[in-house]
């Protein structure tokens, strides 16, 4: 009987290392699975529409591109008897390189429309800042009209600037 008791006592001692080994493998497997799930959740792409809009709003605007109409516009204006001269340097701004090329390729048409616009002005209107601002807006519309006529998007021509403005 003593041998049977020794066998019974030896059997639980042999099973203990097997149980500890299995438990260790289970814990390692759970840690690996948990780490994989945690990594996937942390780095998965965000499908939220609001987050995508927010990132688009944070993008900086494209760099401004300017086209300088050279040489300066020199026109006579003011009607009969009060002939005056206007010299204006004009630059237009866009952020689209395609629009810049469109303006370059259609510069003669744009210059024509701007010469007609500038020569139709009254002296009194051009002496005030408000008159110059109205003329600037009219020049912008004239350029946008040519761009639209050539199939471009006129909204992409953002602004017109007078870099020199001399009345004589």
| CA–CA gap between residue 102 and residue 147 (Å, rounded) | 7
pLDDT at 34: 75
Kindly report the CATH number assigned to the domain that includes residue 98.
3.30.479.30
Identify the bridge partners of residue 85 per DSSP, sorted by sequence position.
76
For residues 95 and 137, membership in a common domain is answered with: yes
Distance in angstroms between the alpha carbons of the first and the last residue of the chain: 131
At 48, the pLDDT band (50, 70, 90 cuts) reads low
Mean predicted lDDT score pLDDT of the chain: 83
For residues 70 and 130, membership in a common domain is answered with: yes
In the chain, how many domains are there? 2
Which tens digit of pLDDT belongs to each residue from 82-110?
A: 778 999 999 999 999 999 999 999 999 99
State the residue range of the domain holding 46: 2-58
pLDDT at 40: 67
């Amino acid at each position: 009987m003593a041998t049977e008791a020794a066998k019974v006592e030896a059997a639980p001692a042999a099973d203990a290392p097997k149980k500890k080994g299995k438990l260790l493998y289970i814990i390692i497997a759970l840690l690996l699975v948990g780490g994989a799930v945690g990594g996937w959740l942390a780095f998965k792409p965000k499908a939220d529409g609001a987050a995508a809009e927010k990132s688009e709003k944070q993008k900086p605007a494209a760099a401004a591109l300017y086209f300088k109409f050279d040489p300066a516009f020199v026109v006579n204006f003011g009607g009969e008897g009060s002939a005056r001269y206007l010299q204006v340097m004009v630059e237009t701004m866009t952020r689209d390189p395609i629009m810049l090329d469109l303006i370059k390729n259609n510069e003669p048409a744009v210059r024509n429309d701007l010469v007609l616009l500038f020569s139709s002005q009254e002296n009194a209107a051009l002496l005030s800042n408000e008159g110059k601002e109205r003329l600037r807006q009219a020049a912008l519309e004239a350029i946008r009209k040519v761009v639209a006529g050539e199939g471009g998007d006129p909204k992409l021509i953002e602004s017109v600037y007078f870099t020199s403005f001399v009345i004589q």
